[in-house]
Amino acid sequence: MSPHVRTRADLWRWRRHKILLIVAALPLVIGGWVTAAIAAPPVHGPVRPVQAVRPVTGPDLDCTLTIPNAPLTARGLATPYILSATTPAAGPCHESDSAQSAFAQAAVYDPATGAISVYDPLVVDAGHGAALAPGVPAIPAGAVVGIWFGYNGNNLTIRSARGAGLAPDHCVDGLGESVFSQFAYCNAKAFFAAVNTGIATHKLVVPALGTANDGQPCPTTRDFSIVDQDQSDNVTTRYLVTAGGRTAQDTSANAARLPDADVLSNPSDNALLDEFVDTALGCTPWTVRDLGGGTATSLALDEIQANADQARPAALVPLNDPMTTVGGARSAAKTDLYRVGVDQASLPAGGNPRTYCQDMDSIQSARLKHDANLFAGAPSPAAAAAINLFTFLAARLSASFHHLGCARFGLADPVSSESVDDAGAVTAVTFAS
């Protein structure tokens, strides 16, 4: 295909349309995953300009997830979450539609042993059962459970099955009526407090990051070389989905019973790091026992390791993160609520948007250029958006620069131009300096 060069002036207009369109309407199959572009910019809160580019016939991107009773117990974890339309008149929500899929991921900390394990609760459509019933996890007595949620659409609302609101189960999906959009959590504060006590008393030992093939420390979710406009969001959960649209937990036993099922995933910063960047750099993500079988990564593990090992400057969710704004305006209260969910210090720590932009711009572009050959030889998380990991990360950096409004601080987009093929996939980039 013939290349087409896009300058910085038209780069953003193309990218905003292209990436949002991928998320809204184009399921991709990447290594057997039914998914959408990883970490593509969602549209947050009540203002939804994505409708300008979303196909009229496309699915509604605002869905609600109903939490079962006693979600922090073994029985609650094994009870499927119910996905439904937030506004029924806008159309139904289907878990099997990768533009609407929601995901749950739990982490279990046992203070008696210092062990962490993970478990992926299942999400099903309203009025439909699971393809295979979830297994009931064995939760140690006295264990502390946290749950995190990811979403492939625009705005995910969490509600309680018992109609008592979110507070009794320590769940948070935003500030008042302003949801985070693709992220929510339950009992994260208590979970991380217990984990941090375990670390302080040497009951829990966090594995060292290790050294990457480029000679630098392996990155974390708080490394400016990897963050985007809404860091520390979404989860690493996968589900099996049948041709009839029913879901099951992605376990070896279930996969054997459902050999024709596809794998549905939540494209996330965590999956990008754990499954693509770490592999390209020769790093090993932290995995623990999966109570559903085998071992697994998780958002909680990534944040614990980042909290323990990330060198300064560490990236913390900034005030200009689109997920923490309210009606487009910065909100310290909402930003702090988000930070609680990923065990980050409250403001004013790391709260200067200009400094965040500057560090992301300089540190990430420097490592991308340094590791260009490593990343260029690695597969793209979204082949329809970029031909390899290098061009994907460079395009993601430029998009993040614009979503965070970094130009208003007198900074320049680190990517001055891109080349794309006839299908619109980024094939090459030119850095501004």
Residue-wise pLDDT for 45-89, tens only, equals 332 222 233 344 579 999 999 999 999 999 999 999 999 999 999
pLDDT band at 36 (very low <50, low <70, confident <90, very high): very low
Distance CA 350, CA 335 (A): 11
- Asked if residue 178 belongs to a domain, the reply is yes
pLDDT, the chain, mean: 88
Is 68 a domain residue?
yes
Q: Is residue 291 part of a domain?
A: yes
The residue behind tokens 């794309």 is: 420
In a domain, 54, yes or no: yes
Partnered with residue 314 across adjacent β-strands are 223
Per-residue pLDDT, averaged over 238-265, amounts to 97
pLDDT at residue 27 in the model: 34
Average pLDDT over residues 425-431: 96
Report yes or no: 264 and 239 within 8 Å, Cβ to Cβ: yes
Residues 408 and 207: their CA atoms lie apart, in Å, by: 39
Q: What is the pLDDT of residue 89?
A: 94
| Count of domains observed in the chain | 1
Question: Rounded to an integer, what distance in angstroms lies between the CA atom of residue 172 and that of residue 209?
Answer: 30
**Band of pLDDT at residue 164, cut at 50, 70 and 90:** confident
In this predicted structure, what is the pLDDT of residue 237?
Answer: 97
Token pair recorded at residue 178: 């302003």
CB 240 within 8 A of CB 264: yes
Q: Does residue 389 form part of some domain?
A: no
Is residue 66 in some structural domain? Answer: yes
Give residue 39's pLDDT: 40
Residue 12: predicted pLDDT: 31
Measured distance CA(20)–CA(25) in Å, rounded: 8
Q: Is residue 107 situated within a structural domain?
A: yes
Read off the pLDDT of each residue in 94-121 and give the average, rounded to a whole number: 97
Give me the mean pLDDT over the 132-157 stretch.
97
What digits encode the pLDDT tens for the residues 337-370?
Answer: 999 999 999 999 998 999 999 999 999 999 999 9
Overall average pLDDT of the 222-250 stretch = 97
Is the distance from CB of 64 to CB of 157 less than 8 angstroms?
yes
Give the mean model confidence (pLDDT) for residues 383-390. 96
Q: Which domain holds residue 217?
A: 26-354
pLDDT range class, residue 162, cuts 50, 70, 90:
confident
For the segment 9-32, the average pLDDT, to the nearest whole number, is: 32
In angstroms, the CA 250 to CA 120 distance is 9
Instruction: State how far the Cα of 6 lies from the Cα of 9, in Å rounded to an integer.
Output: 8
- Residue 342: name the closest of 100, 34, 50, 105 by CA: 105
Once rounded to an integer, what is the mean pLDDT over residues 400-422?
Answer: 95
What does the pLDDT read at residue 57?
Answer: 57
The whole-angstrom separation of Cα 120 and Cα 247 is 12
Helix (H) or strand (E) holding 394: helix 389-403
Percent of the chain whose pLDDT exceeds 90: 85
Res 34 pLDDT > 70 = no
Record the pTM: 0.88
pLDDT for 14 beyond 50: no
Collect all residues with Cβ–Cβ distance below 8 Å to 318 and sequence separation of at least 6.
335, 350, 351, 352, 353, 356, 404
**pLDDT category of residue 318 using cuts at 50, 70 and 90:** very high
pLDDT higher than threshold 80 for residue 403: yes
Indicate whether 394 belongs to any domain: no
Residue 221 pLDDT > 60, yes or no?
Answer: yes
Contact in structure between 154 and 181 (CB atoms under 8 Å): yes
Q: Give the pLDDT band (50/70/90) at residue 256.
A: very high
